[in-house]
A and B are shown apart, each in its own frame.
Chain A
Amino acid sequence: MSAGSPLQIALIGNPNSGKTSLFNHLTGLNQKVGNFPGVTVEKKIGGFRSGTTEMEVTDLPGIYSIYPRSIDERIVSEILLGHHQTHQPDLAVVVVDATNLKRGLLLATQVIDLGLPVILVLNMMDLVAQSGISYDLARLSQRLKVPVIPINARAGSGVEALKIAIAGGSNPVTNQIFQGWSETNSAVDLIQESLSVDNRYEAYLMLEQPHSLGFLTAEDQKVITGIRNQSGFVPGKFQGAETIQRYGFIQDLITEITLKPGNETLHNKSLAYDAILTHKIWGYLIFFGILFLIFQSIFAWATIPMDLIDSAFASLSSIIHHQLGSGPLVRLVADGIIPGIGGILIFVPQIAILFAFIAVLEETGYMARVVFLMDKVMRKFGLNGRSVVPLMSGIACAIPAIMATRTIDNWKERIITILVTPLMSCSARLPIFTILIALIIPDQMVLGFFNLQGLALMFLYLLGFIAAILSAWVMSKIIRLKERSYLIMELPTYRMPRWNNVGLTILEKTRSFVVEAGKVILAISIVLWVLASYGPGDNIEQAEERVAEQYKNARLTEQGFKDKVAAYKLEHSYAGILGKGLEPVIKPLGYDWKIGIALLTSFAAREVFVGTMATIYSIGSVDQDDEATIKNRMRDEINPETGEHRFTPAVGLSLLVFYTFAMQCMSTLAVVYRETKGWKWPVIQLIYMTALAYLSAFIVYQVLS
């Protein structure tokens, strides 16, 4: 570490140890999210100052042991094990949940043995006191040979003392807690000699799991294999025994430092709550009630801010037009870029609300119970207990739902969840469903109080849901993954959420969405706008004259004329030409080129379908709520070949089924790109969903006509 560059601190600890609360206390708003190179695991980095020293804190994923269970944990292992090479971090702050002292100390002893400078933080000391337990922390510090700082990260007490301690630094411990065995010691000696490794535990780990240590060269690996064979060291055989040895030490240590043993009240209270929350009837009822609440809130609370954002950007567009006229650059900004940005920001309310709920569920510890309740069912379909929340949220909007899959650590289960979530009919499909149902399904009552149109709508939602779980099942058979899936999950005691953490989570999630996915969405918006506004030749420019010529004998109002011009322009734009080109492909589904154009433009966002149809049928700028006009026009449209109505029930149903399955949302693809760090999966998703939509619509149409 050179003078002037900040001190590098790594925050290590078990999940649920309150590490994140501590991180937030230390860094406040001064944090950002980055990436570990090459993998989809995120790292949170923040900074703070103590006295005159600048510190940079990295919050590492929570782990139980230095032996990794998942990609997340592998990253932490590599960072810790590589510290002699990288000279980072300068200091490891190991956070242990003091109410889980025994288990938490396992990791602590491993980190200490690695020879890293360590400060041990005991969090949740208030809960320890509440249980009547009393520890001799001075003794603990003496025995482990590291500074021990008690804190309560929720309230923030002890954090100042911690900052001072961090600034003061710590010296690496030189002796080892884990002693190894006579059988292994000679092999370890050899490694230390041949690879000049000072730290004994590190040498031991090189014997145990050399392949997870990225900094070892091929040469090194050969030396290690040689030594292994020579001394008959069988990797894995000793890992369990090491754990037992460590726990032996820890148990003795805890006995030594416990002044008062305390009671079980906290755990018993938690178990009492669990009796209801995991009850076979109440448990599920409460859970679905909460899901319903989340889903309703996203719909209800998000609508007002969304409408505000919508109209704000629409006004901005027209103001720019008013002030600056209609040159091409103005149109690019006012009709392409501004609606594009508006189209990104409009998702913010939904994302914020969903993540607020998820953060609260995580903070209270309830989320673990969700996984617990849903694990068995979800696994049958290749999904994870934690997949439920993204799936259900997908009914409001797939974008925050897909972002929420981060909580799933098994990569295969996560990717399948991401791939199938868009099949849950999102709110953008609603305007399309509504208008088409109104067109082809009679407004009748069935069985007294069931409205036929309402039933049709429910049926479509059910269809989406069934498609989602069936697709998940199919994918789980196709995608091969060697990683064994575990549950072995801690059920933390219930606790009140820390609202600061919730707030910071919301900020972080919305910021990353707007910046990352936003770029892609904006780019595609502009492309589509260009396609819809420009066309070959001079058709677009001559639009007014041509339309005037065409309708010279008809009496058109000014608005009527404008609408016809808009329709003409759309028809002759690149989008229009593509739509016409698309016609042979979509004819077997019962569609014509007008629908083709709408299919293309609604790729930007499904809601655009209604607006495009309005333009094509020269209704001009129509409020999406003004369905009556669009509906009537569509109903009157005649299919030139058959002389019959264009929108027969067969066509209508075919279109409905198509939209239920089709991936008509570039924003979703942008988010999938971001979450999977590549174009491979969004492309696969686009292909399978389009294929599903096409085939289903084809079957429906052919069967019904």
Chain B
Amino acid sequence: MSGIGLVLNVAKDALLSQQYALGVTGHNIANVNTEGYSRQRVDLEAKEAVPYAGVLMGRGVGVAGVTRIADRFIETSISERTSDMTSLEEAEGYMRVLEGIFNETSGNGLSAQMAEFWNGWHDLANNPPGDPERAMLYERGVQLTDAFNSLDADLAQFSTELNLSINTGVEEVNEITAAIADLNTRIVGLESGRVANDLRDKRTVLLRGLSEYLGCKSFEQENGSVTVTMSKGCVLVQGNEHYNMTTVDNKIKLKSSIVSEVDLTASITGGKLGGWLDMRDELIPEYQADLDASARSFMGEVNKVHSEGMGLSYFDSATTGTYTADSSGMLSTLDFGQGIDYDKDLTVWIHDSKGTADSIDDDIDSITIDMGISSPQSPLIGGAGTADRTYRFTVTQGGAVGTDTQIIRWESFDLSGNPVANGEVGGVPGINGVGSYDVEGPGPMQLTVADGDTLVEGNTFTINTSDTGAPIPLSATVSGTGNSALDTYVFKVAGGGGGTIGTDAVTLNWSNTITSGTIEVPAAGGDVAVDGMIVNFTSGLLFEDDTFVVTTDSNRNPTLTTSSDWHWTINSLAGQINKEITDESLTGLTASGATALTLTPDSSDYSYAFSDDGSNVLAALGINTFFAGREAGTMTVNSLLDNNDNIAAARVDPEGALVVGDNSNALDMADLQYEEVSVAKWSYSRGSAATSKDVLCSLEDYCHALASSIGVKSESISREKEYSESIVNNMTEIRNSISGVSLDEEMTNLIKFQHAYVAAAKLISVADEMLTRLIDVK
């Protein structure tokens, strides 16, 4: 090629290259505000020289490519840190709202309402018969329950909102992963010796978007596609494939072709989803459980004191307990059955002519119920009764074996629960000394009593017989510690789940105050784990709906009581009350009920009252209590108090009188505010069972501590968020410093390339002149 041609060619290439460079600079300027855009640079290179006239002659400039200036390490770090930040941002937002809900700083919070409630009792103590004081106290009780109810409702609302957010978040994640998979396909297709700069920027933005929803990691493959994984090694995107997450029953699951469906609810950390899940599964339930615990303790303690007193007059109409036991009727299955003290008594008064309690005369009489439990607690049953029966034994005449005569009544029921036979153990005269006494059947079935045994009237137990008539009580031990302190775990044989332990698998449903579940006793019996405890089943014949309970103490140590141990049921208590009334040659009051106790005066001439209930059985039954309900959400003022006269400021005096100016119960109630009571403190952790411990503090202090703990949590989340925000800001600054477009820089480049372009154009005109001159020579 001739020299001039070369010059022209060089000029042409230069012109085109500079024009290309101007184009890229323009692209940079245009995208100065585009999110995630990384600046691009034209790589110009000198073309390979060719030998000409003995020398190697340069052939001008060429465009080698367009490079995207980005640091993958920084981009990945930003994504990861963004997860932390958004997680904390969400948590912070919700904590701010929580702080508002629990705002005690304004003086209208829960503890202020409690203080008002106690003050109401002081005022009532100052004027026990006063109608305004009673009405005011009632109102304050209602306001306090409203405060508990609305806090509970607010927390529940939170959970609902969080569920919605989580569902939306999961859909969002699925859309993002789909888009990433799509970009993977396009990038792999476009890149063959080239780099798809803008698509990669787009993908980086999407990856960061994904990180905003959950903590994840991305790896670039050799072919340019990225693989996105998250906790538990689950793959969200691989090549052109993406795997959708689903929400089922508030659980987040991932179904991929590689692994079977995995539950990710407990393992998603970081990102908005992580933040929401932390709130929904850790913080909110914890505050809710603590709120419930304080409501429970509050109701329990107030009810205990309230049921010891009486209103202005005896009750003249039927009262039914607001708390119900389960179908077994065992007192320990009552919501507040844990608080019953079986070493104490209860006194019931009956007034046999309707009138005010002031006209006290001989018409008032009392009965006392000994709420004790027979010893030993597990009665000894042997021999063989009728096959396939449930036998129920009830002590109708108690006393110490060897000194008195005791009578135990037995009843048998067939598998459908129909009564079949009944009688008295040992027949007439009953149990009159150490030995074994016949019940019935071919064996016959026998009850054995030993020296030192005590039988308490009204105690009862049941036992099932096998198809050979052998009585098989449940034999089980419990070890470990329950997760919930001072609680009652009620175990109940599920529908169709009965059988003989050691032969059949038995299904049991269990529940305590905050949670419930189902366990399967293997056919061979043995250990079964329940909420932190291990129940070891040795033997036993269990029919459908058979019940046993495990109670935990303040150290969470469990104790198991079966229905084949001596215990009280609502039915046996009602029977005992009726028996005592008859024994004392009284009339006028009838007790009844299977799952809730009802006391009914026989006619309008009779009225009744209670006193000296050291056993707290009335509080557990929900009779003559201030509050009804079992937790913060269901707490209400007992409808009994709709008649304000029933607010118990007084106590029945030893003669059975109710004195109008007596304020002894109100004074005791007012003292309750200073008393340290035991309240459960819960701690929740995602992925493991919640546990409670027992703390001793005044009820108001507990509320203060609850508010304070919300403040502490909120403060620490805010601080962490600020920290992680500053890291993300710093990294973004570094990223911008590397990849961001600088207009000043681009303007300079613009001038630079413009000048080069002008110069190249000049070269063409010079070559043109050279050619013209050459042609003119002819």
A binds B: no
Binding site for A on B (CB under 8 A): none
